[in-house]
Structure 1
């Protein structure tokens, strides 16, 4: 690492939110290099390349901050004082142009929203700011809800075209709500992907987070499909779809997203030739008007990518600018393709909305929990259309820590906090508004990114990065505002290393956290499994996630054998096995002492795998967690993780169907009829994790498992600031 920042560079960095050090652990501080800090400042439009430039930039920034009346965006939590307004000089006159239209000469009783505030001080200075008026917090979930976690592509029915789709999602929610009493179904990000050969299968590096991917469409559910003129061609398409489905379900082939999209694109282009009826046409026109410039940009990028390839930085120079005259001309020339991609966005949005409606009609209090990826692909539609908001030459990642000594580079360009603030967080607001339009809840991947992100300069290793801060108050206010408008919940993925104060700030605003059983230990004490009454209440509690071994794999130790076969272990396999056995034994011992599992401990034979998985979920019921999630593959004993971090071509990430313990793919219809899945879900209907018959533990043994001291219990040991699936 190069030299540390000097005093003036450190002062300049602090004034722009660039951190010159970080703490990978409470007892250790690491200083960022001067080069990393300088590169981060350059990405924010600040020249710090020479000592003279640093002094000039420092003087300019101090003068700017000293003279301005208001920051670019001001947050006012309803019911609390607004500190930036209280700090204005006495006699300052305020006026507001509200989001709803009217202008007011007072800030009293402002409606919720993002308004335009003007301040005029007695000395003649004026200032303007975006004023975010947000409710103080999101309401807590009404009662406890349990539900299913699933990667949608992995859930194939007998009607799927080679991968799970929105029709399958609707069926799953209707069944889970009505037959199982489930309150929600959580899915992976359904954002639009960057096309390629092959397409990156990861749902966490999308082309656009604003618009969903039409690959998820159930083609037969599009009304116009039934009116395609050529019956023979329609039958041919369905026959080809059946072959794609059978390849996965009957022949053991991997999910081929590209083949699925090739077939669906062919079908949807035929569908697009069918004229819309008057009502459908009116609905489509409304969608175009609502989405506006953002949809036009997205559809234009899709059309241009078909002609010039998906890497927009290699397009003809003029087309790299979404606002150029040449781009406008190309849009007109490609109008039919632009309209096609606009219509596909509408169709997908329509089916997403229908899936959420089906969930609510099935009695789900939450419905579908959608997933917001932490960023977008640098060559995708969002990065092209919103270039002014992204930090050029930077990538999001994570610094080195105990779990990854080399750090991480996720290849995702970060938003510029200064440009977000200057716009009143416009792209962030519109993104959230679109997602909340069909989400009963939204999971925020790597929610710590609302506070800070590790910026890695292009061409440098992750060790040469620096943290850049965002206005977390504004990011949270916009999030709470949009979620409250939609009546939706928010779940933050806060696993891993989290800086002090973050979880507390999220909890204060009603944002739930994420707790995974295997990481919930007394990290500040003896490291033993955390007793259920010491878990935090404001969270979604689960046994595993898509980035972790299934519960069956962890209980049997098969996750260690998989990593050994792939050469991913960093120490002898015997050590890994021993640690896994001890870890599992500690948890099973606790489950036994709590009376949730029979046949474990004291030298006796272990209970069956199915009984142990049920006991794990009985334990989750004993916690105060407001939401409890069941990884759907756990219901049939699936051994394989959907994603194995640290692999690319060594493992088929994001391409596996749900399978049983033998690896045989299991359809949605078979899942619905599975006695094993039904028995697991029945556990969640038991009152507070009722003890298994004849296994009640004495009170002193339960206390010995870990007493309640009121601590948060929100540990995490899956890697520092790790972004799921990147």
Structure 2
């Protein structure tokens, strides 16, 4: 088989697995995916396709697979959709849906002329079973029994039936049908009582402050759990797990048992807090490693304090609710501590298998540490719940808005405990575009769409359910990943990858069901190259899109805000762009020049920035939002009023813009060259701005007041 040209059979096999065999590039080219890439990506599905015979066998197997099962492992459907059966010739079928509440409901199979396929020498019929429009939403089981004509024995199979809402309701905001909120990088936002970085108590205080200013939501960076040993990955978008929370954000002082610490332990914890709190004054960098080292010692002592019977009962109930998933995460944490300092490639091979004898032995040996890490998750959830309560008490219609990362660390907890759900030898990335001529490799393993379906989408459900348990909204980073992802075979480089399709009706359906049950809003980050039908589909499901002022263009002019979409979270900037004050002062150009990231002379980059800025200022003046001579603060407020003039249902205000910060949080194209995700919140003069100060911060009050008046 040629390594460059795929045969018709290989092409057909790839397409059966949702692997794109051709695609349109960012540059408008019709790209045909080479055979070598298709073979490698198929291997990620566990399919060997290195010979014509292997391809033919695999193609026959995958085409027969849906016909061999009486009912699929999982069907995700809206009311009025269909459940598809594969009934043997000469048999009748009955369908009973076992609802979540324990009751049963029989479904009627209408007369029809179903298609057929010969399987193992006998025909099978694809029978359509309509789901009634009044079928309750939820996670049900479809029990299908097959009886031979004349009463002979047949099969009896059960498959999951997930009934999802057709559409999510509009966001709940106070007063009108539109609302605004604050956007912050939680780790960067510190207070008088912080342990060197922002924490869940700061989240509660910031939510209360914003809520009292009229905000309806507070969007923060992903707070997924990262490593439990140093060094800790700074990027919140490369977590160890997306199911559980980062104990790094726990405030030890707020744990009830801390009040009962013995004298000696109390002194140690006070010293640990003093050591970590010294970082509150550092305007240059957040040191997660120093913070976690101090916190972990204090948390271990608080954990050792006996809990009251009521508190112990709460902890026990939490562990029972979270089940084996929590225990496995805690075990992974304990294993990471056990092998701390041992490089991943030098650890025993057995340790990467959760079901190995070695892991079973260590699970018993490390049971105390496993219990400690389950306790940390209980504490973290309590503090997040307190933050959401503070947000709602301050009048927020939505409250905390979490951010869901695209994927996970390849050696993290999820990749370990759910390894059968991830494609081996693959990472997720992006194809070449104007920003990256070689494409991007995000070093995250992709979910296998077929394995997710076999698992009944339970991992997706549990992840979303956990995040929304104490939140009012969820932002989905790179939501196009629920439709398709760019898979990169290891060693080939991102330009040699291709797209793999996911069952978006199932993925979005599960997302919508869990959001509906939580009464939550969903926002999809749909920036960049997104096919129009995707945005239309998301809008039809009640999922908001994302709009950033600088990306909304009408030719060489800013797009008038009246032409923005209505179902949006509209903002002036995003975490991958410089704060507006920095942009207005060309600090982003100076930084890229300093880091060697410019692809053109500095003078040309400055001229391009000036042209874009001049066009925006002209648009602001034409609308009467800005005078002929205006200060930086006035320009920033005018930009937000420009966005507020759109029909967008939600408007976001970045905290960095509200205090005049100039430094970007994340500089794309860098790793160690810039302290990405480690920049503390400061004002335009580089002075630390604390949460406590915001209630009297003139610039913060002015911007939030202007946006509140515009939307109120």
| TM-score, with length taken from structure 1 | 0.89
Q: Which residue of 1 aligns with 2:20?
A: 19
- Offset of 1:252 from its aligned partner? 3.6
Q: Does 2:684 correspond to 1:661?
A: yes
- Offset of 1:88 from its aligned partner? 12
In structure 2, C-alpha distance between the alignment counterparts of 1:481 and 1:364, rounded to whole Å? 23
User: More deviation in 388-397 or 301-310?
Assistant: 301-310
In structure 2, C-alpha distance between the alignment counterparts of 1:624 and 1:149, rounded to whole Å? 19
Native 8 Å contact 1:114 1:424 kept in 2: no
Q: Indicate the SS of the match to 2:443.
A: strand
Aligned residue among 161, 166, 177 for 1:136: 166
In structure 2, C-alpha distance between the alignment counterparts of 1:36 and 1:673, rounded to whole Å? 58
TM alignment of 1:389-538, pairs within 5 A? 389-522=421-554, 526-538=555-567
CA 287–96 in structure 1, closer or farther in 2 if over 3 Å, else same:
same
Aligned residue among 205, 220, 228 for 2:261: 228
Q: Which residue of 1 aligns with 2:118?
A: none
- Offset of 1:146 from its aligned partner? 0.7
Q: Which residue of 1 aligns with 2:669?
A: 646
- Offset of 1:500 from its aligned partner? 3.6
- Offset of 1:128 from its aligned partner? 4.6
Q: What per-residue deviation string (whole Å, max 9, x for no partner) do you get for residues 334-372 of structure 1?
A: 111110000001000110111101111111000000011
Q: What per-residue deviation string (whole Å, max 9, x for no partner) do you get for residues 233-278 of structure 1?
A: 42453344334333441x5442110110001000000001101111
- Offset of 1:24 from its aligned partner? 2.2
Q: Does 2:212 correspond to 1:187?
A: no
Q: Indicate the SS of the match to 1:442.
A: strand
Alignment coverage as a number of residue pairs: 676
Q: Does 2:324 correspond to 1:293?
A: yes
Q: What per-residue deviation string (whole Å, max 9, x for no partner) do you get for residues 490-532 of structure 1?
A: 111111111342111111111111100000112xxx3421111
Native 8 Å contact 1:73 1:474 kept in 2: no
In structure 1, C-alpha distance between the alignment counterparts of 2:70 and 2:678, rounded to whole Å? 53
Native 8 Å contact 1:247 1:253 kept in 2: no
CA 393–663 in structure 1, closer or farther in 2 if over 3 Å, else same:
same
In structure 1, C-alpha distance between the alignment counterparts of 2:88 and 2:658, rounded to whole Å? 59
In structure 1, C-alpha distance between the alignment counterparts of 2:394 and 2:261, rounded to whole Å? 32
Q: Which residue of 2 aligns with 1:201?
A: 234
Native 8 Å contact 1:618 1:688 kept in 2: no
Native 8 Å contact 2:275 2:294 kept in 1: no
Q: Indicate the SS of the match to 2:558.
A: coil
In structure 2, C-alpha distance between the alignment counterparts of 1:156 and 1:176, rounded to whole Å? 15
Native 8 Å contact 2:87 2:93 kept in 1: no
- Offset of 1:181 from its aligned partner? 1.0
- Offset of 1:173 from its aligned partner? 0.8
Native 8 Å contact 2:228 2:333 kept in 1: no
In structure 2, C-alpha distance between the alignment counterparts of 1:88 and 1:110, rounded to whole Å? 27
CA 358–57 in structure 1, closer or farther in 2 if over 3 Å, else same:
same
Q: Does 2:177 correspond to 1:177?
A: no
Q: Indicate the SS of the match to 1:100.
A: coil
Q: Which residue of 2 aligns with 1:387?
A: 419
User: More deviation in 440-449 or 140-149?
Assistant: 140-149
Q: Which residue of 1 aligns with 2:248?
A: 215
- Offset of 1:103 from its aligned partner? 3.7
CA 491–87 in structure 1, closer or farther in 2 if over 3 Å, else same:
farther
In structure 1, C-alpha distance between the alignment counterparts of 2:677 and 2:589, rounded to whole Å? 20
CA 395–640 in structure 1, closer or farther in 2 if over 3 Å, else same:
same
Q: Which residue of 2 aligns with 1:560?
A: 589
Q: Which residue of 2 aligns with 1:111?
A: 136
Aligned residue among 367, 371, 391 for 2:399: 367
| TM-score, with length taken from structure 2 | 0.91
CA 368–287 in structure 1, closer or farther in 2 if over 3 Å, else same:
same
Native 8 Å contact 1:591 1:616 kept in 2: yes
TM alignment of 1:338-357, pairs within 5 A? 338-357=370-389
Q: Which residue of 2 aligns with 1:634?
A: 657
In structure 2, C-alpha distance between the alignment counterparts of 1:233 and 1:491, rounded to whole Å? 45
In structure 2, C-alpha distance between the alignment counterparts of 1:484 and 1:619, rounded to whole Å? 32
User: More deviation in 563-572 or 20-29?
Assistant: 20-29
Q: Which residue of 2 aligns with 1:279?
A: 310
In structure 2, C-alpha distance between the alignment counterparts of 1:235 and 1:408, rounded to whole Å? 49
Gaps of 5+ in 1: 600-605, 690-726
Q: Which residue of 2 aligns with 1:703?
A: none
Native 8 Å contact 1:75 1:82 kept in 2: no
- Offset of 1:648 from its aligned partner? 1.4
- Offset of 1:423 from its aligned partner? 1.4
Q: Which residue of 1 aligns with 2:356?
A: 324
User: More deviation in 569-578 or 668-677?
Assistant: 668-677
